[in-house]
Structure 1
């Protein structure tokens, strides 16, 4: 079980890399906002059918959660839009170095303070050094 979740995350990362390139190409043809909408529409339709046939939860429970917890869909749409705009300009790898840096920095802040009900994991000098290395990698990767 210890290996399962990191492998699933790796597979998710692979899928997101393909998604970014696919959506970037779609954005060139259909437009950035339109491509983002198409991507989310197809994803929503797929999840609708998966929910109908395999769902065991309670969709109505969404009405009882704090309203800020419903922002995930908006943030997902924003992320897809950013990918559609950015990938055709700087490529998948450069985009993901920046995305990963942003995710790790904000993730570390969320963990440090235990924001939104998360676990508390203090920010250390090792983590700050890792962030600096991320920015160095972003610079080196994009230096012509």
Structure 2
């Protein structure tokens, strides 16, 4: 079952690459803020329809969760905006390499402290070395 989840994550990563390229083109055509809005609007409509047919029917529970759990949409909008802005300037691969570096640094901090109710996974020398290699790869990607 673990391989299924990892395969789904790999597919999601591939989808993000396609999304970045598509959104970058959209932003060039209609404007950065407008492209970000259109991307989120279409995603919202699709998720609304999917949750109508396959959801648990507990959407109203969003009013009872801790308010900090609602910032995911803001963070997602920030991500889409930044990608629409930078992909046309530095390319999909460079943009996503920087995103992955940022994700791994922050996720290592989240894991180390067990933030947001997650499992505590200590930051050790192996993870430090992996992030160091990641930043070396990032430098190689951005190097002309």
Runs of 4 or more, structure 1, over 6 Å off, are none
The Cα of 1:86 is off from its aligned counterpart by 1.1
Which string of whole-angstrom CA distances, capped at 9 and with x for unpartnered residues, describes residues 65-120 of structure 1?
10000000010000000110111111111111110010000000000000111110
Q: Which runs of 5+ in 2 are unaligned?
A: none
What is the number of equivalent residue pairs in this alignment? Answer: 144
Task: Tell me how far apart the structure 2 counterparts of residues 109 and 49 of structure 1 sit (CA, whole Å).
Answer: 35
How much has 1:57 moved relative to structure 2? Answer: 3.9
Distance 1:108 1:57, change over 3 A: farther
> What is the deviation of 1:2?
2.0
Residue segments in structure 1 that go unaligned for 5+ positions in a row = none
Query: How many Å separate the matches in 2 of 1:57 and 1:103?
Result: 31
Tell me the residue number matched to 1:49: 49
Give 3-state SS (helix, strand or coil) of 2:123's partner. coil
CA deviation after TM superposition for structure 1 residue 3, in Å = 1.0
| Residue 67 (structure 2) aligns with | 67
Aligned partner of 1:83 in structure 2 is 83
**Distance (whole Å) between structure 2 residues aligned to residue 80 and residue 107 of structure 1:** 19
SS at match of 2:71: helix
1:119 aligns with 2:131: no
What residue number does 2:6 align with? 6
Please, what is the CA RMSD of the aligned residues? 0.7
Distance 2:3 2:118 in 1: 22
Aligned partner of 2:128 in structure 1 is 128
2:28 maps to which residue? 28
